[in-house]
Amino acid sequence: MTAGMEREPARYRGPRSVQRTTRIERRAELFVGLLFFATILATLGLIVSYVIGANTQVDGVLLAIALGGIGGGIVVWVQYLMHTPTMIEARHPMQPNPVAEMSPAQAAMREAESGFTRRHLLLGMLFASVGGLLTAIAVPLFSLGPLPNGRAWFTTAWKKGSRVVDVNGNVVHASQIPVNGIMTVFPEGAPGDAMAQTVLLNVGPGLLQLPADRASWAPQGFIAYSKLCTHAGCPVGLFRATEHDLMCPCHQSTFDVLDGAQVTFGPAPRPLPQLPIQLQPDGTFVALGDFPEPVGPAFWNQTLGGGA
C-alpha cells in the first residue's frame, strides 16, 4: 500500500500495513504511560485530600493533573501512535437540484395541502385564535410585579420633621461631621433605605452658592443631597474635599457640592436632588420635607409624578 510514496509532508501520514516500532514511537509509548500513571496518582491524591480535608489549591492542581494526564495521553497517543490517514470526501452543493416532475405522492400531498391554504377566512381566524391564546397565556405575566405608578417610584421616606439618623438608626449630631466631613444618613425609621439614602456634608460656612430659595436648606454649611446617582442609581459616595465635588464610583459622574450638585462631568443628566434640612438647637437635624423632585435615575414620566 505504501508503494510509490514520495516524501510525506508531516501533515499527511498515510496508512501503514507494516507496523514497525520506531524510536519515536517507543518514546511516545513511554510518555503516554507516564501521563496515565500521573492521573492514577493524582486521583489517589484527590481521595486522600478529601479524607484529610486539604485545600483548594492542592485539589485544583491534583484535578488538573488527573484530567490533563488522560487528555494529554490521548492526544500524544493519537498524534504519534495512531496512523490516521488523510481522507478526501466529496461534497455537493447544498441547494437541492430542481425536480422536473412531481411524483404522484407529492401531487397528492400538495392537493391535500391546498385544502388548508385555500380557506383564507378560516386561516385568518386560526391565526387570530392562536394569537388570542398566546395573549391570554401572557396576561398573568403582569402578576410578576406591581405597576410602577405607586408613590414609591416618585417619593421617599423623608417627611417634614423626619429626624436624621445614620445607617444604624442613631440620631446624627452636627459635631459628628467636621468640616469636609461626609456621612450617609436616612430618615428616622428607615435606616438603610435604598430610595431615601442621603449624604450629609459639612463644607463649612460661606462657601455655598445655592439658589436663593434653597439657601435656607443648608444651615451653617451642612448640606444634604440624595445619594442615589441620577445616572444609574449607584450610591454617590466619593467626596473630593479640595474640589468640593461628589463623584459616583460607577461611571464617574461628578456633582459640584457648592453649586446645588450641578453635574460637572460624566453621564448623569441632572443634579442630585437636595434635601431641605434644619439644624435643631440640640445639634441634631430634621428634614423640612421630602426631596423637592424624584430621586434616582431618569424614566419617562419621572417628573410627571405618580398616579396613586
Partner 1 sequence: MTGPGPAPGDDRVHHVEGEPVPRDADAIEGDALPAPGGQLPVVGPVVRFLDNRTGLVTFGRTALEKVFPDHWTFLLGEIALFSFIVLLITGTYLTLFFRPDGTQTIYAGPYAPLDGTKMSAAFSSVLALSFSVEGGLLARQAHHWAALLFIAAIVTHLTRIFLTGAFRRPRELNWIIGFTLLLLALGEGITGYSLPDDLLSGTGLRIIYSITMAIPFLGPWVASLLFGGLFPTTQIISRLFIVHVLLLPGVLIGLISVHLLFVWIQKHTQYKVPGATEHNVIGLSLWPGQAFRSIGAFLLTAAVIALLGGLFEINPVWIYGPYVPYAAAVPAQPDYYVGWLEGLVRMAPNWQLTLFGITILPEPFIPGLVVPGVLFTVLWVWPFIEAFITGDHREHNLLDWPWEAPWRAATGAAFATIFLVLLLEGANDVLAAWLLIPVEDLTQFFRIMVFVGPVVAWIVTYRLARARLEHGTKPIEPLGGIALRRNATGGFEEVHDRAAVDAALGGGGRK
> Residue 68, interface with ligand FES (CB under 6 A)?
no
Q: Name the binder of 220 from ligand FES, partner 1, none, CB < 5-8 A by kind.
A: none
Burial class (CB in 10 A: 0-12, 13-18, 19+), 117: exposed
Nearer to partner 1, 208 or 263 (CB): 263
Rounded to a whole number of angstroms, the minimum distance from the CB of residue 133 to partner 1 is 21
Rounded to whole angstroms, the Cα distance separating 40 from 69 reads 9
Partner in contact with 292, chosen from partner 1, ligand FES, none, beta carbon below 5 to 8 Å by kind: none
Give the residue, chosen from 18, 100, 136, 147, that forms a contact with partner 1 under the rule CB under 8 A. Answer: 147
Q: Does 229 bind ligand FES (CB under 6 A)?
A: yes
Measured CA to CA in angstroms, residue 95 lies from 98, 99, 101, 158, 177 at distances of 9, 12, 17, 69, 77
Pick from 38, 54, 70, 232: which binds ligand FES (CB under 6 A)?
A: 232
Smallest distance, ligand FES to C-beta of residue 273, A: 14
Which residues contact residue 214 at a Cβ distance below 8 angstroms, ignoring those fewer than 6 apart?
Answer: 260, 274, 276
Angle (nearest 5°) at CA 30 between 66 and 64: 15
Residue number, 234 or 258, with CB nearest to partner 1: 234
The span from the CA of 182 to the CA of 6, in Å, is 82
Phi/psi zone of residue 305: left (φ > 0), alpha (ψ -120 to 50 degrees), beta? left
200 counts as binding partner 1 under rule CB under 8 A: no
CA distances in angstroms from 263 to 246, 253, 255, listed in the order given:
10, 7, 5
Binding region for partner 1 (CB under 8 A) out of 81-89, 100-108, 175-183, 285-293: 81-89
Selected range binding partner 1 among 105-113, 116-124, 148-156, 214-222, rule: CB under 8 A: 148-156
Residue 120 Cβ vs partner 1, minimum distance, rounded to whole Å? 31
Helix (H, G, I), strand (E, B) or coil at 265: strand
Binding of residue 237 to ligand FES (CB under 6 A): no
Instruction: Show the binding pattern over residues 242-261: x = contacts ligand FES (CB under 6 A), - = does not.
Output: ------x-xx-x--------
Under rule CB under 8 A, residue 33 binds partner 1: no
Only one residue has cell 481522507, namely 87
- Our measurement of the distance from residue 220's CA atom to the centroid of its chain's CA atoms, rounded to an integer in Å, reads 42
End-to-end Cα separation, the chain, in angstroms? 88
53 touches, from partner 1, ligand FES, none (C-beta below 5 to 8 Å by class): partner 1
Pairing relationship of beta strands 262-265 and 222-226 according to DSSP bridges = unpaired
Q: Which residue reads 414620566 in cell numbers?
A: 301
Residue 52 binds partner 1, judged by CB under 8 A: no
Query: Candidates 105-113, 140-148, 211-219, 284-292 — which segment interacts with partner 1 by CB under 8 A?
Result: 140-148
With CB under 5 to 8 Å by kind, the binding choice for 276 among ligand FES, partner 1, none is none
Interface residue list for ligand FES (CB under 6 A): 229, 231-234, 248, 250-251, 253, 266-268
